[in-house]
Amino acid sequence: MMATDSAAAEGEPMEGVEGAKDKVTAALAQLKGKEKSPLSPGPSAADAGETAAPMASNLDGGDDEEAMLRRNFYQRFFPYGRFAEWLSYGNVDKNYLANREFSFTLEGDVYCRWQSFNSRAQLEKQMQKAQPVKIDVGAVYNFKPKDKKTIKASAFVPQERELVFDIDISDYDDVRYCCQGAAVCLKCWPLMNVAIRVLEQALREDFGFEHLLFVFSGRRGIHCWVCDQRARALTQQQRTAIADYLTVYKGGEKARCVSIYEMHPS
């Protein structure tokens, strides 16, 4: 387990993704019979600004099924309200959301960093234009990330960010026999359920954290977001110390059997 830069019932993360996909596919089937799509076209260069070219090219071939699924997802299903509410934490600080960095990975592996938005409406508008294949949520800075180029580098510093743990099923390749790498099945997924329970208990009982969000990472495991205010304010040294505390065994050795003679301090 490694700390990087949300608690669900067993199996629900993957089922939720498939359910959403079925809904989008059904919506797509309804659209195929129409002569003209009611959905808005891609952004103009003037609207998209610095990332105009990648965003426009992301939509140029938008008649293929994957692009249409993504367009429908961002138009109809993405939970913009809850997403913005979560990442602004009630907007106690009026600049909290505006100072939060987002990065978009567009079709063709085009990576756009230092995106920031003043409001939920602005975030929604830009995401519907860009239709990213991947979204990364970054730290909250002392200035708006989109203004980074106008600010002296030494003055632009992160103020807060969630404590995030990334657990991949491939971390258990030493002790599972059914699958390897990113492959996962009903036999080895229970390992992730156990990891969630162990991690949750340690974070709650040993560190006193309360606001935990476990989510399916989208490919090979889960992410745990610790959202308590004091977790968001941790220094890098403190984050590393927590990760080290939670590390019992580092995989990668050839041995399939692991013997632990000393009890974990928890």
How would residue 59 be classed by pLDDT, with cut points 50, 70 and 90?
very low
Please say whether the beta carbons of 61 and 67 come within 8 A: yes
Structure tokens, 217:
């990472």
Residue of 101, 107, 124, 162 with catalytic role: 101
Average pLDDT rounded to a whole number, residues 106-129: 96
Amino acid at 123: L
pLDDT digits (tens, 9 = 90+) for 211-256: 999 999 877 889 999 999 999 999 999 999 999 999 876 655 544 4
Cβ-contact 91, 97 below 8 angstroms: yes
Helix ranges, the chain (H) = 12-32, 45-48, 52-60, 65-72, 80-88, 120-130, 190-201, 229-232, 236-246
* Residue of 107, 124, 162, 168 with catalytic role: 168
Annotated catalytic residue, options 166, 173, 200, 206: 166
- What are the b/e assignments for 158-176, b being 16+ CB within 10 Å? eebbbbbbbbbbbbbbbeb
User: How many other β-carbons are positioned within 10 Å of the β-carbon of residue 115?
Assistant: 22
The yes-or-no answer on residue 168 being catalytic is yes
Kindly state the DSSP code that residue 151 receives in the 8-state scheme. S
| Chain segment 132-181, per-residue pLDDT in tens | 999 999 999 999 999 999 999 999 999 999 999 999 999 888 889 999 99
In terms of Cα–Cα distance, which of 82, 112, 80, 45 is closest to 213? 82
Q: What is the pTM of this model?
A: 0.70
How far apart are alpha carbons 56 and 130 in whole angstroms?
Answer: 8
Length of the chain: 266
Instruction: Give one DSSP letter per residue of 103-123, joined into a string.
Output: EEEETTTEEEEEE--SSHHHH
